[in-house]
Each structure stands twice: as C-alpha cells, then as structure tokens.
C-alpha cells in the first residue's frame, strides 16, 4: 500500500471507530444475512466478538506502514479460525460484509479510492490467514 492509501484507510477508520459498537453489530448482521450458516461458528456473545473485530481492525490499521509486525499474529488467527470451522469461501463473505459496513458508516466518504484501499487492507490480513488455514 502506498502512503496515500494508508492515509485514506486511517482517516476513514477513525470515523468508523467513533461508532464502533454499531458498526460491529451491522457487520455481523450483514455477515449472517449473506451466509446464515456462519452464525453457529460464533459461540461467544456477539457484542464481545464485535469488540474483538474492531480491535483487530484498529491494530491492522495502525500497522499499515509496517505490516510485517503483525504477520505472525495474523497467521495464528488463521490457524485458530481453521479450528473454529472457517472455510476458505468464508473469507470472501467476510470481505463483502466488511466493505458493506464501511460503506454504510462512511457515507459520502466512501469513494472508489477508499474502497480500493480498504480492499487492499482486507487482502493484507486475509491472505496470510487463508494460507495458514
């Protein structure tokens, strides 16, 4: 990712982070709408799961200039997710739900450039997770 893309992601995540509880709830609602078979994979309280999601995104966004610093963590997450029953195709569903959530929360700040930058962020995280799974 280039510096301009990183700035766009960090700026827009700051706006979403202001309403992180609502954004997380929207994400999971959309995820389960897209694929109801994913719901049983979440054994814990979905609110707590949402907190983990937003914390993971915040960590990734902060690490965009040095992505190697989170590679081991991302790989371990992929291994854990495999144990939870996550399938390769589920990563695509998560991407759709995440990008939809960002678009809904950013409104006019959601531009094609922002979407492209966020897609790169997702691939940066999901790529190593998929390989580890």
Between 133 and 81, where is the model more confident? 81
The predicted structure's pLDDT at residue 131: 84
Average pLDDT over residues 11-23: 96
User: Does residue 13 have a pLDDT over 80?
Assistant: yes
The predicted structure's pLDDT at residue 35: 96
Residue 25 phi/psi, 5° resolution?
-65, -40
Domain count, the chain: 1
Q: What is the DSSP string of the chain?
A: --HHHHHHHHHHHHHHHTTHHHHHHHHHHHHHHH-GGGGGG--S-HHHHHHHHHHHHHHHHHTTTSGGGGHHHHHHHHHHHHHHT--TTHHHHHHHHHHHHHHHHHGGG--HHHHHHHHHHHHHHHHHHHHH-
Residue 22: band (very low, low, confident or very high) from pLDDT cuts 50, 70, 90: very high
pLDDT digit string, tens, across residues 52-74: 999 999 999 999 999 888 888 88
Crossing angle of the two packed helices 3-17 and 112-132, in degrees rounded to 10: 90
**Would you state the structure tokens that stand for residue 112, as one six-digit string?**
């094609």
Measured CA distances, 73 to 13, 33, 63, 104, 133 (Å):
20, 28, 12, 28, 13
User: Does residue 133 have a pLDDT over 80?
Assistant: no
- Give the rounded percent of residues in the chain with a pLDDT score beyond 70: 100
The CATH number assigned to the domain holding 79 equals 1.10.490.10
Domain that holds residue 109: 3-132
User: Does residue 122 have a pLDDT over 90?
Assistant: yes
Average pLDDT over residues 85-93: 91
């Amino acid at each position: 990712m280039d510096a301009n893309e990183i700035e766009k992601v960090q700026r827009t995540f700051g706006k979403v982070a202001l309403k992180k509880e609502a954004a997380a709830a929207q994400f999971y609602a959309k995820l389960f709408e897209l694929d109801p078979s994913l719901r049983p994979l979440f054994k814990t309280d979905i609110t707590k799961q949402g907190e983990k999601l937003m914390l993971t995104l915040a960590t990734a966004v902060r690490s965009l200039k040095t992505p190697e610093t989170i590679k081991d963590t991302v790989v371990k997450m992929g291994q854990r997710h495999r144990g939870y029953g996550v399938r390769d195709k589920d990563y695509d569903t998560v991407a759709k739900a995440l990008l939809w959530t960002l678009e809904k929360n950013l409104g006019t700040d959601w531009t094609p450039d922002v979407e492209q930058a966020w897609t790169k962020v997702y691939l940066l995280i999901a790529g190593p997770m998929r390989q580890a799974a």
